[in-house]
Chains A and B, each alone.
Chain A
Amino acid sequence: MPPKEPTLTRPLRRSFVKGLLGSTSFWMVSGHSHWADALAQEAQKPYQPTFFTPDEYRFLEAATERLFPQDQHGSGARALGVAEFIDRQMESPYGHGDNWYMSAPFVQGPANLGYQLPFVPRDLYRKGIAGLEAYTHQQHGKVFADLPLSAQEQILTALEGGSVPLGDIPGRVFFEQLRTNTMEGAFSDPLYGGNKGLGGWLMLGFPGARADFMDWVNQDGEAYPFGPISISGETA
């Protein structure tokens, strides 16, 4: 087992804090306990989605938790804030497909020639969730989030395998979008709303923004001894 990591506090830099708050003075004079309290308070308020409707958001929370469940290995998608992450991403340039080539005509071809739909991530989620809920209702007479976990897993397995029709969108395409964004939400810097408490990084032993390993280039297979730190200076 790796040695238990020491609790580290480090001076917060101006640049750490600017990205988070837009005001530096409060954090510069605050001690670590204030910081942690503020984060904890923030964490208690349930996140209000901006892009997703409440029903869509319930689906997203349930589906991402199945893809990345709470278990003996550590936090699941719900505890990590994966749905919040995805909602925030929908409002970012990425959600609008800002660096995708989106010129017509849109011609479908072999899968190995890549994505050819006229939809950006926001469209994929709106249409994908609607399609999957319609399928779920038809099969089970309920919404996805109200199904037993085993039924949810069956639906996601079918979606991954390509046997769930979603109208305009091939089921596999929606599955891959959801899976990719789930993993991003579990493991990106907490700046973006996911990886809460650095739970994703703790699971993997990834030390986050430390970015200086001069003393651990080769320690003959010993685990790196320090826990993660985020860009904003949060430690686990």
Chain B
Amino acid sequence: MTKKHVDAIVVGAGWAGSILAKELTEAGLSVVMLERGSERATAVEGAYPESIDELRGAIRKRLFQNLSQTTVTVRNTIDQTALPYRQLAAFLPGEGVGGAGLHWSGVHFRVSPEDLRLRSSVVERYGDKFIPEGMNLQDYGVTYSELEPFFDKAEKVFGTSGEAYKVNGKIVGNGNIFDGDRSDNFPLPAMKDTFTASTFRAAATEAGYHPYSLPAANASRQYTNPYGCQMGPCNFCGYCSGYDCYLYSKASPNVNVLPALRQDPGFTLISDAHVLRVDLDDTRSKATGVTYLETKTQKEVSLSADLVILSAFQFHNVHLMLLSGIGKPYDPVSNTGTIGRNFVYQTITSSRIWLPPSKYTNQFIGAGGVGVAIDDFNSMNFDHGPLGFVGGSPVWVNQAGLKPIAAAIGTGGGGTPRWGSAYKGALIDTYKHSIGVDAHGSNMAYRDVYLDLDPTWKDAYGQPLLRMTFTWKDNDIRMNQYVVSKIEPIAKAMGATKANLVHLNAGQPFDTRHYQTTHLGGGAIMGTDPQTSALNRYLQSWDVSNVFVIGSNAFPQGMGYNPTGMVAALAYWAAYHIRTTYLKSPGPLVQA
């Protein structure tokens, strides 16, 4: 049954959805936002001290997707049977109002300018033969200078703390020398270095690298954003990642956008509404609205709209496109179709460095976005010629607040005991005196790594699960090994008593049992060619022009940086072009 008609439907109440809903209501549209999870308010979920509970938070995964309702299946290669991802482990999508933007850490990067034109950049420097067989290396179709105003806007909305290197071509501070130029400084000064971060900063400098403060959407001071939303100063409590910040210091849709949006009479948020599909007309080139299930009443509701924004989590966007018949599903054998193509992840390993027993690293003190990083081995910042791989990794100390259960479960292994008295001794030493160092790297796209619908397993609503075909490839394993080897001189300069440098091994398959990162990407990518991208450069579906798909699904390859800043900038970029061009004359913004 069709209940009513609105100007725009926004699917998913995370960062991308909240930004689009804000922009579209500002443009005078009536907007309904549908969120499959429940309503979440910091005053409730974030209330101290109940929120400061590791078991309930990060361990039992209170803010994350409930897999009992829907999940994905995973396999490494095309000839395997994919099996359901039954327990949350390798990646942790969010659920409920705020989405993954409520439980994220707060590392708020822009993008390395050359990552947006990575194929062109690699070909210009090394020739097209440098690109390995089977790698779908592509440009985004948008440049850094085009996106810069939107990165700037997102930082001001998020209340981001950081130190710039260059503003309007002028060196202004001790920021990242590899950054693109900025039109303005960060809205807040950088967060303080923890002891581990300042140790890393000094050692990285001594090793000849160029350390900088991670840009953090954790407020270093009290802040009021352009929407009038307020943040309090971060006190380094360490409960960012996996938690709802009780101090209103970590940016989230719930704190930084929704309080303003909820006051707009043109805006309606419906929670506990699981979107089943986007409804298309007979030509399959126009969306007429969406059909969703009220999960509390199990009633199906159809809602009609002129414009549909898909802004769910990366793979849910791809899943909805496949379930709705938007565009042509990707087929890796014939190498045709675009929906599910260029599914990517990130190549991340965590190493550990031990300081002498006189030094206490107090790892429980921290914030999700703070730390010190080097970009000397990220993106195109170093010579790949003799190395023969594409991509790179920032390397950083990002002390987000290591809590005891996570530390205890993670200690041991690799030949050291995982239980008993020797294990306890190692756990205490590691907790008190060690430093975690991550290589947080890129992941390239490949012809046989993709998303499609699973032939066997279904979700609680009777729809086929999304199937992931993914494994680590030689290019990315060698990149990871190279970058991790660069941590050694840093460890030495720190005065390490011991270091455990962790890298991927040749042939190692992707393992779903251990947390790696929630930074999944691609599957419905942006680009300049409808044969090789699902979306045009404004994140508009090539096939159904009144559907825009906003999220890290648009990334043609996984970058070394955390994705949220890029997602927010793309959201503002798409919204700007919807407002200034599309709404005046609805239709394709780029002719296919």
Contact = CB atoms under 8 A, between A and B. Distances in A.
A45 interface: no
Contact of A99 (B54, B55, B66): B66
A74 B427 CA distance: 12
Interface string B415-439: 0001111001101100110000000
A203 B428 contact: yes
Nearest to B198: A218
Contact of B67 (A99, A205, A211, A217): A99
Interface string B485-512: 0000000000000000000000001111
Interface in B67-113: 67-68, 70-71, 74-76, 80-89
Contact of A223 (B49, B197, B432): B432
A154 B194 CA distance: 43
A219 B195 CA distance: 7
B68 A231 contact: no
A51 to B, nearest CB: 17
A111 B425 CA distance: 30
A209 B420 contact: no
B53 A100 contact: no
Given A184-B405, A221-B355, A71 B237 contact: no
Given A69-B421, A105-B456, A204 B428 contact: yes
A182 B246 CA distance: 29
A67 B423 CA distance: 9
Contacts of A13: 49
A115 B236 contact: no
Given A99-B68, A209-B53, A219-B195, 14 more contacts: A105-B457, A113-B82, A179-B418, A183-B409, A191-B53, A204-B407, A205-B360, A206-B404, A207-B364, A213-B236, A213-B362, A221-B360, A223-B360, A231-B53
Nearest to B192: A217
B55 A114 contact: no
A183 B67 contact: no
B419 A114 contact: no
B184 interface: no
Interface of A: 2, 13, 15-16, 19, 66-69, 71-74, 94, 97-103, 105, 107, 109-116, 153, 156, 160, 179-180, 182-184, 186-189, 191-192, 200-201, 203-207, 209, 211-214, 216-224, 231
Contact of B49 (A110, A222, A231): A231
Nearest to B69: A101
B323 interface: no
B362 A187 contact: no
Nearest to B458: A103
A109 B403 CA distance: 33
B219 to A, nearest CB: 13
B68 A220 contact: no
Given A94-B60, A99-B67, A107-B83, A69 B424 contact: yes
B52 A231 contact: yes
A116 B86 contact: yes
Contacts of A212: 235, 237
Contacts of B171: none
B358 A221 contact: yes
B408 A187 contact: yes
Contacts of A68: 419, 424
Given A183-B405, A200-B404, A2 B360 contact: yes
B362 A188 contact: no
Contacts of B239: 211
A191 B587 CA distance: 57
A154 to B, nearest CB: 12
Interface in B426-468: 427-428, 431-432, 456-458
A66 B419 CA distance: 8
Contacts of B74: 113-114
A220 B404 contact: no
Given A160-B418, A189-B53, A204-B404, A101 B198 contact: no
A220 B199 CA distance: 9
Given A69-B424, A109-B81, A213 B238 contact: yes
Given A101-B67, A116-B86, A223-B362, A211 B405 contact: no
A184 B407 CA distance: 10
Of all A-B residue pairs in the complex, the 3 with the closest CB atoms, nearest first, are A187-B404, A221-B359, A211-B237
B117 interface: no
A205 B246 CA distance: 23
B85 A101 contact: yes
Contacts of A103: 84, 457-458
B55 A189 contact: yes
A136 B178 CA distance: 61
Contact of B512 (A100, A107, A112, A201): A112
Contact of B84 (A116, A180, A203, A206): A116
Nearest to B403: A206
Interface string B178-202: 0000000000000011110110000
A69 B420 CA distance: 6
A186 B419 CA distance: 12
Nearest to B359: A221
Most buried by A among B55, B88, B237, B355: B55
Interface in B245-287: 246
